[in-house]
């Protein structure tokens, strides 16, 4: 296989105090990298091992899909975070999109948190672009907009391992902190342009 779990784009303690280094240690080192170990074992010696990660996500099913999609989703999640991030997006294309399609930051924030809160069990809350319009969707388990028509712009991981060490069962608090203190709007802007 010609891909690896990329290094985090910041130090494991860079998101403290809103996301602890202990959470990043478990989440990134154990969960994220664990999905890659399982994916590589499942693909060893098979033709799909030469595909890109995105192509594997789009063309696989079962355990291969679950592990490939979790590697993709987690990588996307990490890139969407930054120290000192969050809050309303700065003026520009992303702020214009949020205003046009949600009515502003406050409405976007409310809808994004609601998408994460109403996901029963494990999954993801996503900001996606489809047909030139932004929307918020929630996917279960390893599901990802990458397999559909929506272009992912941002995601929040709502599996318990994403927040339990820091926030216990307070998923709402984690999602509030995600929105207010962690979103990497430059990453969202790059996805919007790309």
pLDDT digits (tens, 9 = 90+) for 91-146: 999 999 999 999 999 999 999 999 999 999 999 999 999 999 999 999 999 999 99
2 pLDDT higher than 80: no
Homologous superfamily of domain range 21-79: Fe,Mn superoxide dismutase (SOD) domain (1.10.287.990)
Instruction: Return mean pLDDT, the chain.
Output: 96
Give the chain's largest Cα–Cα span: 50
Q: Which residues pair with 152 in a beta bridge?
A: 128
93-193 is a CATH 3.55.40.20 domain: yes
At CA 154, angle to CA 149 and CA 156, rounded to 5?
115
Tens digit of each residue's pLDDT (9 = 90 or more) over 74-97: 999 999 999 999 999 999 999 999
pTM of the model: 0.96
Confidence band for 1, pLDDT divided at 50, 70 and 90: low
- Spatial strand order of the sheet with 151-157 comes to 133-140, 123-130, 151-157
Residues of the chain with CATH 3.55.40.20: 93-193
Radius of gyration of the chain (CA): 16
Reduced 3-state DSSP string for 69-136: HHHHHHHHHHHCECCCCCCCCCCCHHHHHHHHHHCCHHHHHHHHHHHHHCCCCCEEEEEEEECCEEEE
Instruction: Quote the pLDDT of residue 194.
Output: 87
pLDDT at residue 102 in the model? 98
Share of the chain above pLDDT 70, in %: 99
Instruction: Look up residue 37 and give its two tokens.
Output: 């170990």
Start-end of CATH 1.10.287.990 domains in the chain: 21-79
pLDDT(171) > 90: yes
| pLDDT per residue as tens digits for the range 27-57 | 999 999 999 999 999 999 999 999 999 999 9
């Amino acid at each position: 296989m010609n891909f690896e779990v990329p290094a985090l784009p910041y130090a494991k303690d860079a998101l403290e105090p809103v996301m602890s280094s202990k959470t990043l240690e478990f989440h990134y080192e154990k969960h994220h990298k664990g999905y890659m170990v399982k994916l590589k074992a499942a693909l060893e010696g098979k033709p799909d091992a030469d595909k890109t990660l995105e192509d594997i996500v789009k063309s696989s099913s079962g355990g291969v899909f679950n592990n490939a999609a979790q590697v993709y989703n987690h990588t996307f999640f990490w890139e969407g975070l930054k120290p000192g991030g969050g809050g309303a997006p700065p003026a520009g294309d992303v702020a214009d999109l949020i205003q046009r399609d949600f009515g502003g930051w406050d409405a976007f924030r409310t809808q994004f948190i609601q998408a994460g809160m109403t996901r029963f069990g494990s999954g993801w809350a996503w900001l996606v672009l489809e047909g030139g319009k932004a929307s918020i969707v929630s996917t279960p388990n390893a599901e990802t907009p990458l397999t559909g028509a929506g272009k992912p712009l941002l995601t929040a991981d709502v599996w318990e391992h994403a927040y339990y060490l820091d926030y216990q069962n307070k998923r709402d608090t984690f999602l509030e902190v995600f929105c207010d203190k962690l979103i990497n709007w430059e990453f969202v802007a790059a996805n919007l342009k790309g």
